[in-house]
Structure 1
Amino acid sequence: MTSADVAREAGVSRATVSYVLNDTPHQKIPEATRERVWEAADRLGYAPSAAARALRTGRSDIVLGLLPDWPIEHVLGQLIQQLTNAFAEHGLTFVVHSSARPARPLRELWKSMTPAAVLALQDFPEPEARAMRAAGIEVVMAMHGTVPGEKPAPLVSEQPIGAVQARHLAAAHRRLGYAYPDLPGLDVLAQPRLDGVRRVCAELGLPEPDVRTVPLEALGAAEAVKAWLAEAPAVTGVCAFNDDIALAVLAGLGHLGLRAPQDLAVIGVDDIPHASLAQPPLTTVFRDTNTIARNMARRVVDTLEGKAVSTGPVQDELGIRIRQSA
């Protein structure tokens, strides 16, 4: 089916069909005519050609989202859905690609898709960013890390999360630990969060946080717990990279016959569904990922439209679900 078929079915010109289906501004087309065009298109099963639209506008409507080799769990899945919805509100399609091996090489992907923009969750090599721009991709952004040759600060800052954790525990604990994830790909998130904890400890005159890598299993987590408690003075409060790591610390405590917060207070990040079901229920930091998604979509769209765009971090509110673990 073509737009000519829709025009014949609706009894209007092809230009009118184009204006209606593309929602062209400044066209005085009666509402009844618009409805007739849409009904005709629906009856015929007509869908505008994405390739033709790209030729007409000079770009596609695709935003390519690049995921690092991270576990796609509750919070990341939620963020992907929120980004999808936020871009859809601007007439853009968010397509996600994971770099987990053996995924198709990134360069092959963007060359075949010719997206209008590329949004990465973490940074990527300078030659790749340069090649994208040379190929006509108008926007290349990274939420975490940086795009080579551009602003040094990440668009989504993780330091405030660690700072919120540390300030909460520091009200009752004078020696803090940090439970670091054992997946190297998460360093782009974990290191800034740890930096936030370090900064607050320095501000409050507390010792440097004792950092231990904590695996997602009880025996390994128990070893970290024993090490924290063996310090002099002992670590009595632990900031965990996220709720999964915090739950591992709680499992390690249980394996040793210990309890939170009596023996070791624990605070996580993300407020995943299982956090409230832990024993004891997990105290955790939460953030407004929907605001992050909407602001990131707005920045991409404004850049595509040639508008002035802020270079500062996206602002999102943080809060604490206070439960029994800390």
Structure 2
Amino acid sequence: MRRVTLKDVAAAAGVSATTVSFVVNGRADHIPESTRHRVEQAIADLGYVPSARGRALASGRSRVVVCVSPAGPAADVIEQFKRDLSHSLMTAGFTCVFLERPSDGDQFIQLWRHIDPACVVSWDALDPKELLPLERAGVPTVAGLITGGTDTDRAVDQEAVGRAQVEHLADLGHRHIAYAMPVMTREEESTARARRSGAIETARERGLAEVTVSTVDIDADQARIAVQSWTRARPRITAVAAYGDVQAITILEASRRLGVGVPDDLAIIGVDDLPLGELVFPTLSSVSLDLHAAAAHVAARILAVVEPSTNATPPMEQRPPRVMARESTLGADA
């Protein structure tokens, strides 16, 4: 079937193609209401869909926002964040496209020769080499949303995540705490370091012993070795704050196999509040992040950059990371 064109709409409405273009692109203030109504009716009757390329030429930019996300395995919380961000931008008339960040920096730089986005969004900070071709092309950027930006730039305060974990454990009387770092990919590094920094600083402020930092992969043997080292340490480690829930569950299972009671011998708290945490035994305490508000915050920042003349909806107020306390820190009576 042949694509319906702007000229087809013009012929059906009995107006010029220029008049249809004004209506389609929202610049019809000077056109009589009756004429505008005829054009809109013809668009509806013919099922006309404006060309994305044509609208980009008319407005001087595309309506595509490219979000460069870290490479790595998919996670439920990140996928939910993406869905919320896509929905927020869609309601404002923009399409959100997610690209996995290329491992080759030169490939990342060459990417913008093939894509003409309204904005480029990056989870972490962009270095000057990456920014230069975007600036030359006049493409605005929003970066440092997860790590690398200022406190107001970031969608989630990662240091606050580590602080919430240690605050919870300290309130329960733990004085010797370990922080379980992941075997870090490039994308996880800045997030993990920020969470660890928040945990260490909070322990210092609360007068606790210096936090023991251990690297624990999602691996049964590594988790077993880590649990053994914590429980044999003098003074003994009585609680661990894990980088994420999957890592925390790996530690929980290693503790069970070693006969280490959770939380009597070792309290465990994760991050992300995954549904899986309520299915294990004991149920997992975790830090919940307000990703819906975080996505709205990011969308508002993007719209402020791509449409500065409009009255963008102010970002939603974000609640701080919230501890979901369960059996792995409170015990069976939780």
Instruction: Give TM-score, length-normalised by structure 1.
Output: 0.88
Shift of residue 306, structure 1, vs aligned partner: 3.3
For residues 261-313 of structure 1, give each alpha carbon's deviation from its aligned partner in whole angstroms, at most 9, with x where no partner exists: 1221111111112111111111111111111111111111112233699xx9x
Q: Distance in 1 between matches of 2:179 and 2:297?
A: 30
Q: Distance in 2 between matches of 1:152 and 1:53?
A: 36
Q: Distance in 2 between matches of 1:6 and 1:25?
A: 15
In the other structure, the counterpart of 1:145 is 147
Q: Given residue 154 of structure 2, which amino acid in structure 1 is its aligned partner?
A: L
In the other structure, the counterpart of 2:80 is 78
Q: Distance in 2 between matches of 1:259 and 1:152?
A: 38
Q: Does 1:168 align with 2:168?
A: yes
Q: Does 1:37 align with 2:42?
A: yes
For residues 97-137 of structure 1, give each alpha carbon's deviation from its aligned partner in whole angstroms, at most 9, with x where no partner exists: 11255899222322211111111111232111122111110
Q: Does the aligned pair in 1 maintain the 2:25–2:58 contact within 8 Å?
A: no
In structure 1, runs of 5+ residues without a counterpart are none
Q: Does the aligned pair in 1 maintain the 2:112–2:133 contact within 8 Å?
A: no
Correspondences of 1:2-81 after superposition (within 5 Å): 2-24=5-27, 26=29, 29=33, 33=38, 36-42=41-47, 46-81=48-83
Q: Does 1:325 align with 2:324?
A: no
Q: Given residue 292 of structure 2, which amino acid in structure 1 is its aligned partner?
A: N
Q: Distance in 1 between matches of 2:254 and 2:105?
A: 35
Shift of residue 259, structure 1, vs aligned partner: 2.7
Equivalent pairs counted in the alignment come to 317
In the other structure, the counterpart of 1:111 is 113
Correspondences of 1:1-326 after superposition (within 5 Å): 1-24=4-27, 26=29, 29=33, 33=38, 36-42=41-47, 46-99=48-101, 105-146=107-148, 154-156=153-155, 157-172=157-172, 173-185=174-186, 186-306=188-308, 315-326=318-329
Q: Given residue 175 of structure 1, which amino acid in structure 2 is its aligned partner?
A: H
Q: Distance in 2 between matches of 1:221 and 1:24?
A: 62
Q: 1:24 to 1:243 in 2, by over 3 A?
A: farther
Moved more, 4-13 or 207-216: 4-13
Q: Distance in 1 between matches of 2:305 and 2:261?
A: 51
For residues 126-162 of structure 1, give each alpha carbon's deviation from its aligned partner in whole angstroms, at most 9, with x where no partner exists: 1111221111102342313337xxx687523201111
Moved more, 221-230 or 253-262: 253-262
Moved more, 167-176 or 315-324: 315-324
Identity of aligned residues (%): 31
Q: Distance in 1 between matches of 2:301 and 2:153?
A: 14
Instruction: Give TM-score, length-normalised by structure 2.
Output: 0.86
Q: 1:37 to 1:289 in 2, by over 3 A?
A: farther
Q: Does the aligned pair in 2 maintain the 1:181–1:241 contact within 8 Å?
A: yes
Moved more, 7-16 or 202-211: 7-16
In structure 2, runs of 5+ residues without a counterpart are 330-334
* Secondary structure at the counterpart of residue 295 of structure 2: helix
Q: Given residue 325 of structure 2, which amino acid in structure 1 is its aligned partner?
A: I
Shift of residue 12, structure 1, vs aligned partner: 4.6
Q: For the aligned residues, what is the CA RMSD?
A: 2.6
Q: Distance in 2 between matches of 1:246 and 1:25?
A: 58
In the other structure, the counterpart of 2:332 is none
* Secondary structure at the counterpart of residue 284 of structure 1: strand
